[in-house]
């Protein structure tokens, strides 16, 4: 693996290897390798807290040299293309790029870039490291994927998390279902849509998705009613009480409290939302290490 662009590009064996390495980093069973002679640049063209911060910490723990790149002060503001930006960084010796971009599959235009790329999220397309950290969290909890029932609720159409997790969890043997308002459904993904209340007591994992107003039209935003959405598609205390004893709650964050999930449930006993964030840093360490290790070979 020399790049990580999409979950569809990973085999189940590669997924298992990444999860194992991340778990070993987390437990202390595997020492942190050091890449003091390697440079990494984080190109975030969309706002981010968790993804960017955990990549930064992961890179520092691996001894990487962080190349200071800010889109707001770069030649991007003068109209420079993403390709030319990446080619410039390649030319001056950067070894690895972590990119988040608003354009779906932006990486398709970067075929001639010779340095490694990790996709930190592309529009409403893919978010592979988020999917991998979700898989790691699920594996910690259940030690298996075969036969698990996963309900993903919310803004499916605009969610890169929904796409990545559907493809990866289905490949690993889980049964993935969606629940969403009609206007936010995307039949091209392939998952069945269900009534949340009809399955809430049968699923092992409930994954809530953020309502992505920044990708909605102004009329859609104006007509959105948070209270109605929460009652129809959010995790309310009543739905929480119906969950199986062993079920867990997940959310890629940032969380809109009281919309996707009731405020008091964000840190409820079944919630693994902050555990996901913890695992994200170790998982991103595993991805970076694997890519740089393979480039040396």
- Is 85 annotated among the ligand-binding residues? no
Residue (of 288, 28, 276, 7) closest to 140 by Cα position: 276
Q: Is 239 annotated as a binding residue?
A: no
Classify residue 223 as exposed, middle or buried by CB count within 10 Å of its CB (0-12, 13-18, 19+). Answer: exposed
For residue 212, report the phi and psi dihedrals to the nearest 5 degrees: -95, 75
Q: Say whether 50 counts as a known binding-site residue.
A: yes
Q: Would the annotation count 51 as a binding residue?
A: yes
Q: Establish whether 253 is an annotated binding residue.
A: yes
Burial of 278 (0-12, 13-18, 19+ CB in 10 A): middle
Which residues, listed in sequence order, are joined to residue 4 by a DSSP beta bridge?
Answer: 118
Do residues 281 and 57 touch, judged by C-beta distance below 8 A?
yes
Is 254 annotated as contributing to ligand binding? yes
Structure tokens at 191: 């998952």
Location of structure tokens 């397309």: 125
78 is in an annotated binding site: yes
Binding-site residue set for carbamoyl phosphate: 50-51, 100, 127, 130, 253-254
Binding-site residue set: 50-51, 78, 100, 127, 130, 160, 210, 253-254
Binding-site residue set for L-aspartate: 78, 160, 210
């Amino acid at each position: 693996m020399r790049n990580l662009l999409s979950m569809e590009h990973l085999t189940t064996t590669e997924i298992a290897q990444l999860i194992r390495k991340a778990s070993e980093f987390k437990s202390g069973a595997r020492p942190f390798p050091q890449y003091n002679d390697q440079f990494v640049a984080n190109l975030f063209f969309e706002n981010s807290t968790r993804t960017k911060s955990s990549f930064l910490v992961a890179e520092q723990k691996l001894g990487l040299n962080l190349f200071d790149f800010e889109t707001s002060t770069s030649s991007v503001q003068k109209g420079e293309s993403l390709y030319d930006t990446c080619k410039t960084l390649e030319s001056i010796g950067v070894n690895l790029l972590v990119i988040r971009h608003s354009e779906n599959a932006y990486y398709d235009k970067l075929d001639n870039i010779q340095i490694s790329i990790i996709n930190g999220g592309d529009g409403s397309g893919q978010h592979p490291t988020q999917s991998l950290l979700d898989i790691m969290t699920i594996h910690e909890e259940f030690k298996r994927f075969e036969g698990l029932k996963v309900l993903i609720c919310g803004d499916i159409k605009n969610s890169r998390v929904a796409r990545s997790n559907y493809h990866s969890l289905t490949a690993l043997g889980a049964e993935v279902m969606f629940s969403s308002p009609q206007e936010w459904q995307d039949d091209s993904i392939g998952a069945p849509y269900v009534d949340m209340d009809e399955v809430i007591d049968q699923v092992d994992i409930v994954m809530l998705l953020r309502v992505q107003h920044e990708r909605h039209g102004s009329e859609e935003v104006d007509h959105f009613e948070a209270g109605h959405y929460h009652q129809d598609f959010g995790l309310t205390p009543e739905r929480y009480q119906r969950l199986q004893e062993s079920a867990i709650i997940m959310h890629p964050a940032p969380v809109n409290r009281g919309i996707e999930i009731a405020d008091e449930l964000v840190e409820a006993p079944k919630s693994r939302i902050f555990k996901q964030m913890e695992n994200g840093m170790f998982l991103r360490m595993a991805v970076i290490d694997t890519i740089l290790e393979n480039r040396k070979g």
